[in-house]
Amino acid sequence: MAFKDNYRKISELDINDSVKQRPVLLISVAERAQKNGGSYIDLKMTDGFEKFDAKMFNTDMNFIENQNVAAGDVVDVDITVQSFNNGKSLRIDKILPSQSGGTPADFLVSAPIDVNAAFDKVTGHLKAIADSKQGKYTSITDLAYNLLVKNKDQFIFAGAAKGMHHDIIGGLMYHTYRMFASATLLCQVYKTLDSELLLSAVAIHDLAKIREMSTSPSGDISYTVEGQLMGHLYMGAEMVNDYANAHPDKYDPEKVMLLKHMVLSHHLNPEWGAVRGPATAEAQMLHYIDQIDAKMYVYENRFNDLKPGQVTEKVPFGLENYVYKPLE
């Protein structure tokens, strides 16, 4: 039995419940100003099942440092669940170095797949397509394949988002792998789609998140300066452009342009970060596949928090409606 299975999930606690000396991995800690003066501590933790935010009121970083705890440590906390904005809010009443014997590795929340095997399946498929094609230009799948291989270590470790979908170690590979599986099947249904182009775009559409964000060994995901200033859509198109320019006359310029367009447009609307809206069927399909996997991830996580017949107390971030878990 895994170490984390010795303890009740934090998500299972109800309002007004409390638990003492619960070991968790402290992912990040920051001091914030309270509206009425003074300060509080904003903590991100994981119980090994999922990440959660908690607050410790009327204190500051000096107190945390005096407790000899820091981000990346396993700590024991006393937790009280409060009601806030029609949902649960976690208050930390006490925090100390853990006496549980647990290690950070016991609490890491990571993708529920073998990310190396998933990487090999995606890149193997891309390479097989490229190897099977002959003509004036090399298949655009070769470009996607080489970008992934060049950035493998970062790609298979990185989270896919900060506080949204797939915000876990290996989340970027997990998201890409499921999208790639969906795209492969959809190309068999919608046969007018350019499968080489769509699969290439799916494979690298979020690749620049390895530059947009940084994932710490404990799973803390934060934006880089480069990411805040430019974003992964622009940087992703830049990676495609740079690789194509480094290999002149290897790839069809039309395919390179369309691949860049798909990366730049996969968020659909400018208010969501898209540089342009999707102008091709493949670009539109990329957006839909991306949305499907992102939203299904939220549903899957919320199902873990609910008992059959229950509905979420508020609309989960990333969705437009409450989530109901059907009776079994």
Report the distance separating Cα 226 and Cα 231, nearest Å: 7
Nearest to 147 by CA among 228, 225, 263: 263
Strand ranges, E, within 144-189: none
115-301 folds as: Hypothetical protein af1432 (1.10.3210)
Q: Please tell me the predicted confidence (pLDDT) of residue 169.
A: 93
Do 3-106 and 115-301 have matching folds? no
Report the distance separating Cα 134 and Cα 237, nearest Å: 26
* pTM for the predicted model, two decimal places: 0.87
User: Which residue reads 């506080």 in tokens?
Assistant: 163
Please report, to the nearest 10 degrees, the dihedral formed by the alpha carbons of residues 12, 30, 315, 158 taken in order. Answer: -90
Report the distance separating Cα 157 and Cα 215, nearest Å: 8
What is the longest distance spanned by two Cα atoms in the chain? 69
Spell out the per-residue pLDDT of the chain, length 328, in tens.
788 889 999 988 888 999 999 999 999 999 999 888 889 999 999 999 888 899 999 899 999 999 999 999 999 999 999 988 777 899 999 999 999 999 999 998 889 999 999 999 999 999 999 999 988 999 999 999 999 999 999 999 999 887 778 889 999 999 999 999 999 999 999 999 999 999 999 999 999 999 999 998 888 889 999 999 999 999 999 999 999 999 999 999 999 999 999 999 999 888 877 889 999 999 999 999 999 999 999 999 888 778 899 898 788 888 889 999 999 8
172's tokens: 């970027």
Query: For the purposes of burial, counting CB atoms within 10 Å of the CB of 7, is it exposed (0-12), middle (13-18) or buried (19 or more)?
Result: middle
Nearest to 176 by CA among 250, 215, 118: 118
325's tokens: 């878990």
In CATH, the architecture of 3-106 is Beta Barrel (2.40)
Asked whether 11 and 3 are in contact (CB, 8 A), the reply is: no
Q: Please tell me the predicted confidence (pLDDT) of residue 85.
A: 78
190's tokens: 């919608």
Asked whether 162 and 222 are in contact (CB, 8 A), the reply is: yes
Q: For residue 45, what is the enclosing H or E element?
A: strand 39-46
Domain residue limits, the chain: 3-106, 115-301
